[in-house]
Amino acid sequence: MTATARRARHGATLGLVFGAVLLSGAAAGAWGGTPPAAQLRRAAADAVGGLPDLSGLTPAQAERLVAAGGDRWAAYYSPQDYAAFAQGLAGEYLGVGLFVDRTEDGATVVGELPPGSPAAAAGIAVGDRLLAVDGGPVDRLPVTEVVALLRGRADGPAGGGHPAGPGSPVRLTVQRGAGPPRELTLRRVLLTAEDVAVDHPVPGVLWITARAFTSGVGARIAAAVRQAPERGVVLDLRGNSGGLLTEAVATASVFLDGGPVASYQVGDERRELTATAGGDGRTPLVVLVDGGTMSAAELLAGALQDRCRAVLVGGRTFGKGTVQQPSRLADGSVLERTVGRWFTPAGRSADGTGLLPDVLAAEPADAEALALRVLGGLGAGTAPPTASPAPSR
C-alpha cells in the first residue's frame, strides 16, 4: 500500500473508529497513551466475547490483509499512529492549529485558528489559502491527507519517514487574497482539541456544535445545557466523524431520561446501551446532520430520532454502522478489523445507507437557517427571518 493510500485510510479510521475497546469504555482516558497489549486484548475480549486474536501477525502480513480488501474499515496503524490515535481520543493533537476547508474549486483554505496556536501567532488568518505543506501542493488533496501532513505523520513527507513530535518544523506556503504567496516555517506543539463550541444565534436558542466525541465532550455539553437553560437547543453534528462511544452515550443522557440509546451485535451476542436517567426530555431539540456525520455521531442522532426526542435537519448521514476490534501486534502496531454492527433503538442499521433527516435541506448552506425555523415551529425562541444570523463555527 502506498503512503498516500495509508494516509487516506488512517485519516478516515482515526476519525471514525468505533472499536470494541471503545465499546467497553477502556479507552476513555484510562490509558493516557498507547494501551498495553495485555489490557487491549483483555478489553477487546470482554467487549466482543473473545474473537480470534490476530496478534501473531507480522506488520507486513497485517498490511497485506488490509490491502486485500473485503473490509472497508480494516486498517493498520504503526505504533506512532496508534499513539496519535489514543492521544486524539483524549482530546489532544499535535499540530500548528490549522483547521482547513475545501472550496468548490478544490482550493484548501484556513477554516479556523485556535487562539494562541503557532499558526495564529504567525499571522495566518481565516480565509487564507494553504498552497503547500513542506513544498508539496495541497490543492485538491482530501482534507484528511492535508491534516496528516500538517500533523507530521510517520509516513508523510514532513516526517521524512520518522514520526513528528513537539517542536518538529513544518513549512507552509499560504496566500491571502490576490497577494503574493508567503512561506512560513512553524513548529508543532501539543494542542487541546476544542471539540465543543457554544453560541446563542437568536434569543432563546442554545447552539451546541460537537465536532467529535473525544474524552470529556459529553460533560461539556451537559454543562452548557445546565449553565444556559434556553427555550430550544440546536445540536450541530455536521462533520462529526465519531469517536468515543461513551461520550456519545453521555451526550444522549443529557437529552434523554434513561432508556435505550443503541444496541450492538458481534457474532451471536447483542448488548444494549442505555442513557442515564435524569436528562432533559422536554426542551425542544433540533439535531443538524450531513454527509460528514459518522459512526458514533450517527448512533446519537439515530437514538434521538427513534426516541422522538429531536427533529433531524440537514442531509443524509454518512452510513458507518459497524464495529471494529483492534489487535495489537508484537511490534506495538495495531490491526483493526470489522467484527459487527450497531443498531438504533428501533432496530435500524445505518450501515451503508446513513440516516435520513426528518427535514431535508435543499442546499447545505440552507441548513442553519432551516434548523432555526424548525426549532421556532417547535415553540422554541423566536422564529427567525429568512436571512437569520448563523452561529459562529
Q: Could you list the active site residues?
A: 295, 320
Residue 42 exposure: Cα atoms within 13 Å on the Cβ side: 6
Amino acid in position 389: P
Closest CA to 75 of 296, 329, 248, 290: 329
Give rounded-to-5 percent helix, strand, coil for the chain. Answer: 30, 25, 45
| C-alpha cell at position 304 | 434521538
Closest CA to 150 of 92, 90, 97, 80: 97
Annotate 335-384 with DSSP letters as a single string.
EEEEEEEEE-TTS---TTT----SEE-SSGGGHHHHHHHHHHHTT-S-PP
Q: How far apart are CA 151 and CA 7, in angstroms?
A: 11
Quote the distance between the C-alpha of residue 106 and its chain's center.
22
Q: Describe the crossing of helices 296-306 and 245-255 by its angle, rounded to 10 degrees.
A: 20
